[in-house]
Structure 1
Amino acid sequence: MRLVIARCQVDYVGRLTAHLPMARRLLLIKADGSVLVHSDGGSYKPLNWMSPPCWLQERDVASLNPPAELPEGVRPLREEPMKAPENNFKALWVVTNKAGEELRIAIEEIEHDSSHELGIDPGLVKDGVEAHLQELLAEHVTKLGEGYTLVRREYMTAIGPVDLLCRDADGATVAVEIKRRGDIDGVEQLTRYLELLNRDPLLAPVRGVFAAQQIKPQAKTLAEDRGIRCLTLDYDELRGTESNVFRLF
């Protein structure tokens, strides 16, 4: 990966046009050929980018007018000669994809330029995904309430599996839907499961519990309106580890 910090302006020319005025930015040139333009804000998203397959040409300002040598079969969308940028730009990077779209990065000054071999990435291993939460809650089913017992994980219905099917202390059936972040879609999903489960005379009446690490206020309001209980899960507690978040009590 090549990391470049430079004062630059960026213009995208293709199906639409976009312009980033002069500023200090981070340019990422990755081994897969992609080029990304980042600022020091705006979360993780680049300001502009070009996805592979694409080709990067670094050209001096003095040699901008000759046509670029593109791979065979690739032609720029705009055939007019490329004009030298105004101001005191030292170089122009032109990134072209197979559709002929161009990302033009006019560089005034480079403050840092380094290349690094990152090697093969093993990929992201997520901790606390829904499958882990389901497994942990199944092991500690009394977190749902005293006297709760587990009937089955992944109880299948005609439209998909319910995460946990349980019995409460009175023997009534409870369907539990587990999410990392609980939103309205999760409540709607559990509502559909409850509708189907309550058609089974061996299970009915079936109540619902919507369990998540975070539950959005709109989702909680909708769930309670439909008689579904909400439960906020503490992942560290389920794993038997102490959270490092400071608490008042």
Structure 2
Amino acid sequence: MRIIVADCSAEYSGRLTASLPPARRVLLIKADNSLLIFSELGSYKPLNWMAAPCTLREVTPEGDAAEADDVGETADQPDSDSTREPTAVRILRAAAEKSSDILEVRLYRIYSDETYDLGEDPGLIKDGVEDHLQRCLAQQISRIGEGAKLIRREYPTAIGPVDIMAVDADGMHVAIEIKRHGGIDGVEQLTRYCELLNRDPLLAPVRGIFAAQTITPQARVLAEDRGFTCLILDYDEMRGIEDDALRLF
């Protein structure tokens, strides 16, 4: 990965046109030639970028600017009251391979230009994803009601697996759909499962439980209107992690 800190401007052309006036910014160039431009403040997203697949060329401008040192030096700068554009000491030109899009970055003064070998990244390991919630609830199935018993996780159906199938204390089958953030789409998914399962005389009647860490008000209204129970899952509490927040009572 290459990281450049420089005074620069940028022009993006192709399917859209965008420009960045001269300012000090950070340029990040990845191994796949992706070029991203960041500012000191504002959003965590880059101001502009060219994503892979793309090609990246580095051009030295013609004229006096080519003689300027790469790091810590700058080409002749105009007086503060001049409207003349500063002269670039280097140009980075990233071109998309599947379109006519081009991002051209003109560097006027380079403060740092470093390359790092980051090695292979194992990727983001998420905690609290749906599989973890499913595993915890399967192990603590009594959370859906005392006397409940687990039949199995990933219960197969013709339209996909139900996250958890269980029976309650009355012997009724219970289909449980688990989401991290429960929305209307999750309720619709549970509806399809229950409609299909209730066609099987060996399982019917099957009731549904919509379980999630958070459930939107719209999803809760729809779920309850269809006869489903909503269950909020506190992942930390299910794992036995106590909340150390101060409480009055």
Q: Which moved more, 1:175-184 or 1:22-31?
A: 22-31
Displacement of 1:247 after TM fit?
5.3
Deviations 1:197-217 (A, max 9, x none): 111222222111111112222
CA contact (8 A) 1:12 1:104 kept: yes
Q: Return 5+ residue gaps in structure 2 as ranges.
A: 64-83
DSSP 3-state at the match of 2:142: helix
Aligned residues: 227
Alpha-carbon deviation of 1:188?
Answer: 0.7
Aligned to 1:55: 55
Contact 1:182–1:216 (CA under 8 A) maintained in structure 2: yes
Q: State the shift of 1:106 in Å.
A: 2.4
- 1:232 is the counterpart of 2:239: no
> Shift in Å at residue 226 of structure 1?
1.6
SS in 2 for 1:106: strand
Is 1:150 matched with 2:150? yes
Aligned to 1:210: 210
Label 1:239 to 1:34 Cα distance change in 2 as closer, same or farther (>3 A): same
Q: Secondary structure at the match of 1:62?
A: coil
Describe how 1:158-197 pairs up with structure 2 within 5 A: 158-197=158-197
Q: Which residue of 1 aligns with 2:81?
A: none
State whether structure 2 residue 205 is matched by structure 1 residue 222: no
Instruction: Report the residue type matching 1:164 in the other structure.
Output: I
Q: Which residue of 2 aligns with 1:82?
A: none
CA distance in 2, matches of 1:22, 1:218: 47
Alpha carbons of structure 1 residues 5 and 229: separation in structure 2 relative to 1, 3 Å: farther
- Structure 1 residues without counterparts, runs of 5 or longer: 64-85
Q: What is the Cα deviation at residue 163 of structure 1? A: 0.6
Specify whether residues 108 and 223 from structure 1 end up closer, same or farther in structure 2 by C-alpha distance, changes over 3 A only.
Answer: farther
Residue aligning to 2:86: 88
The TM-score, its normalising length taken from structure 2, stands at 0.81
Distance 1:117 1:205, change over 3 A: same
TM-align CA RMSD: 2.4
- Identity, in percent, stands at 57
1:41: which partner in 2?
Answer: 42
Structure 1 residue 32: Cα displacement: 1.9
Residue 229 and residue 24 in structure 1: after superposition, are their counterparts in 2 closer, same or farther (change >3 A)?
farther
Residue of structure 1 equivalent to 2:129: 129
Taking structure 1 as the reference length, what is the TM-score of the superposition? 0.81
Deviation at 1:138, TM superposition (A): 0.4
Deviation at 1:227?
A: 1.7
1:66 matched to which residue of 2? none
CA contact (8 A) 1:89 1:109 kept: no
Displacement of 1:15 after TM fit? 2.7
